[in-house]
Amino acid sequence: MSTAHIDTFAARNLPPREQWPEFLFDSPELQFPEQLNCATELLDRWVERGQGDRLCVQGAGVRWSYADLQAQSNRIARVLVEDMGLVPGNRVLLRGANSPMLAACWFGVVKAGGIAVGSMPLLRAKELTQIVVKAEITHALCDARLAEELALARPNCPTLTQVLHFHSADADALDARAAAKPAAFENVRTAKDDTCIIAFTSGTTGQPKGTMHFHRDVMAACACWPRHVLRPTRDDVFIGSPPLAFTFGLGGLLLFPLSVGASTVLLEKASPDALPAAIAQYRATTLFTAPTSYRAMAGQLAGHDLSSLRQCVSAGEALPAATRALWKQASGIEMIDGIGSTELLHIFISHDEAHAKPGATGTAVPGYVACVLDDAGRPLPRGQVGRLAVKGPTGCRYLADERQRNYVQDGWNLTGDAYLLDDDGYFVYQARTDDMIVSGGYNIAGPEVESTLLLHPKVAECGVIGVADAERGQIVKAFVVPKPGIEANDALARELQDYVKQSIAPYKYPRAVEFRSSLPRTETGKLQRFKLRQAT
Ligand code: 3UK
């Protein structure tokens, strides 16, 4: 079957076929029909099967069933098509903190055959402009509270002609327009390989990269990690912090719960001080957040009833063994770690609770294959550090970007991570390939030093980088946030240096230690090492 896109921008801007990764669709659950709209599969199907009354999404004072979310997204699809002139294939910017309304907007766009482009709530006009220009975005649905920054971007965004605001009482807002529409909408009959999302990477430097994912990619992500590792039930209540603009959040807090008929809680504020109360309030069972958030929350659980909580998923950054232990002690729950990427849409190496191994990420998720390659692209024996390479039913397709050649080589997706395969066949994260520190001829992975420092009782947070050194090429430098009430002084620095020397190979100890009150992080919880480097 051919495309349903009338606006063919996405198809025209895919990388050339020979630069695509190899895709694997071996298992029966990865056989998709030619005509596929993932919104139909994830949302309308439940209503069709008589499950429309089941609880679907909560948050921001809202409690919607599957039928409610379907009606609301149908109305939004009508506004997009009838009032805003959307044609299939148009790109629609979505802007807002997580909320049921933002989820309805996502489904509205996908039902209408549009391409949803999420944006992190904290983005500024300059960054918004880059995204709008790169993806030639024509429409935007924007939370009224974030209107200002988008307005500032608009003079530089000539393609963006249609903007509506939501969470607004305005007569001309999306809310009122949607309310005036009938609740029925016939989803556009898209092809399985029509693009339905363009997800921009939370790249640390340079121009943001847009990753293009098809309707079939969304369904493939739902069929792999959730089905084989998380194994949720329809009674589960999902909750967490990652924004829907980040594919970790889109999958974990929207696509995956809906794929099994479960429900999700979309919180506007899901910081570590707000999450425990929300888990108790909604009786949530399944938590998604980043390692630093688990670490910060562990000390704040007292007084909250977390008895509903069953599963805790960590991704976005390596999960230090200290954080896994701390969370288990605080909550009684063995965390599920998983590495995913925007390019591969979601998690491809992980483990379930029964197969957790502290310090290791896990094994390839069924549907994916992974290996560790040397610089020439040859597989390395166990125990040797090299480049992580992955293949599966999803993979990297950058929107018109030369960097496709870096991420995809010989059909493999190269994530930019240095990994080793241990004796048990588990993948063990070392560092981002660019972040490996070479000091006095030794290769040192900053995250290993960080994990060690995090075991010290006086350390709240830390980040380790290499800084230039005339004698050794680079030296290891640690930025440390002490726990509250701990004085940062030379004696503490020496204590931490000695602690590292006694815990791991002494040459890895931080020759420089700098104390900070906080560390620079992205909205997705990743340490911004480049900012630490700029500071030295
Ligand atoms: C790092 C991890 C060690 C790693 C993501 C789950 O993080 C996500 O996507 P991004 O594109 O970043 C990808 C990079 O982040 N990383 C992520 N998880 C882990 N490193 N252990 C982990 N568990 O460097 C990777 O290449 O922002 C995560 C699901 C969807 C996602 N988009």
Give me the domains of the chain, ranges plus CATH numbers: 215-433 (3.40.50.12780), 440-534 (3.30.300.30)
Q: Which of 224, 225, 294, 317 to mutate to test the pocket of ligand 1 (most atoms within 8 A of CB)?
A: 317
Identify the pLDDT of residue 89: 98
Identity of the residue numbered 14:
L
| pLDDT > 80? residue 505 | yes
C-alpha triplet 290, 405, 412: angle, nearest 5°? 65
Instruction: Using DSSP, state whether 373 is helix, strand or coil.
Output: strand
Of 273, 250, 254, the closest CA to residue 262 belongs to 254
**Closest to 493 (Cα-Cα) out of 519, 462, 467, 465:** 462
pLDDT of 90: 98
Ligand 1 and 347: CB distance under 6 A: yes
Q: CA 455, CA 477: separation in Å to the nearest integer? A: 17
Residue found by looking up tokens 């991570």 in the block: 417
Residue type at 508? K
Do the Cβ atoms of 273 and 247 come closer than 8 Å? no
Helix axes 275-282, 291-298, angle to 10 degrees: 90
Residue nearest to atom 26 of ligand 1 (CA): 415
**Mean per-residue pLDDT of the chain:** 96
Is 416 touching ligand 1 by the criterion CB < 6 Å?
A: yes
pLDDT of residue 523: 82
Q: What is the mean pLDDT of residues 405-418?
A: 97
Query: Which helix (DSSP H) or strand (DSSP E) does residue 465 occupy?
Result: strand 459-469
Cα–Cα distance list, 383 to 303, 369, 428, 430, 489 (Å): 44, 18, 9, 11, 38
Q: How confident is the model at residue 203 (pLDDT cuts 50, 70, 90)?
A: low
- Does pLDDT of 204 surpass 80? no
CB atoms within 10 A of CB 333: 16
Whole-angstrom distance, CA of residue 7 vs CA of residue 22: 27
pLDDT of residue 232: 98
Q: How far apart are the CA of 267 and the centre of ligand 1, in A?
A: 22
Question: CB atoms < 10 A from the CB of 318, how many?
Answer: 25
- Residue 524, pLDDT score: 82
Residue 1 pLDDT > 80, yes or no? no
Confidence class for position 412, pLDDT limits 50, 70, 90: very high
Residue ID of nearest Cα to ligand 1 atom 21: 318
Q: Does 532 sit in the ligand 1 pocket, CB within 6 Å?
A: no
Measured between alpha carbons, how far is residue 88 from residues 12, 51, 66, 194, 202 in Å?
A: 14, 28, 24, 10, 27
Rounded distance from Cα 169 to ligand 1 centre (Å)? 38
Closest by CA to 239, choosing from 267, 260, 274, 262, is 267
Tell how far the Cα of 465 is from the centroid of ligand 1, in angstroms: 19
With a 6 A CB cut-off, is 336 part of the ligand 1 pocket?
no
Computed on alpha carbons and rounded to an integer, the radius of gyration of the chain in Å comes to: 23
Report the distance separating Cα 478 and Cα 171, nearest Å.
54
Q: H-helix or E-strand containing 467? A: strand 459-469
Q: Is the CB of 359 under 6 A from ligand 1?
A: no
Beta bridge partners of 191: 35
| Partners of 362 in beta bridges | 427
| Predicted confidence (pLDDT) per residue in 74-113, tens digit | 999 999 999 999 999 999 999 999 999 999 999 999 999 9
User: Residue range 325-345: average pLDDT?
Assistant: 98
Separation in Å, CA 97 to CA 100, 271, 291? 10, 12, 21
Kindly tell me if the per-residue pLDDT of 507 is higher than 80. yes
pLDDT for residue 334 is more than 70: yes
Residue 346 C-alpha to ligand 1 middle, in angstroms? 8
Q: What is the average per-residue pLDDT within 243-260?
A: 98
Please work out whether the CB of residue 450 comes within 6 Å of at least one atom of ligand 1: no
What is the mean pLDDT of the segment spanning 3-10?
98
Residue 415 CB less than 6 A away from ligand 1 = yes
Q: Which residue lies with its CA nearest to atom 17 of ligand 1?
A: 316
| Cα 495 to ligand 1 centroid, rounded to whole Å | 32
Give the pLDDT band of residue 536 (cuts 50, 70, 90). Answer: confident
pLDDT in the model for residue 535: 79
What is the rounded distance in angstroms from the CA atom of residue 324 to the CA atom of residue 335?
Answer: 6
User: Which residues, listed in sequence order, are joined to residue 451 by a DSSP beta bridge?
Assistant: none
Q: What is the mean pLDDT of residues 138-156?
A: 98
**Would you state the structure tokens that stand for residue 475, as one six-digit string?**
């030296």
Binding site membership of 524 for ligand 1 (Cβ less than 6 Å): yes
Give the phi and the psi of residue 455 in degrees, each rounded to 5.
-80, -15
The pair of structure tokens assigned to 238 is 């999902």
Atom of ligand 1 nearest to the CA of 432: 24
Instruction: Answer yes or no: is pLDDT of 205 > 70.
Output: no
Q: Whose CA is nearest to atom 9 of ligand 1?
A: 341
Q: Is 346 in the pocket of ligand 1 (CB under 6 A)?
A: yes
Identify the CA nearest to 274 among candidates 80, 59, 63, 89: 59
CB distance 448 to ligand 1 below 6 Å: no
Tell me the two tokens of residue 265: 């809680």
Could you tell me the pTM of the whole model?
0.95
* Ligand 1 pocket residue status of 429, Cβ below 6 Å: yes
pLDDT of residue 128: 96
Mean local confidence (pLDDT), 141-168: 98
211 within ligand 1 shell (Cβ under 6 A): no
- Residue 55: closest CA among 340, 200, 262, 298: 262
CA of 352 to the centre of ligand 1 (A): 17
CA of 130 relative to ligand 1 center, distance in Å: 22
The model's pLDDT over 273-318, given as tens digits with 9 standing for 90+, comes to 999 999 999 999 999 999 999 999 999 999 999 999 999 999 999 9
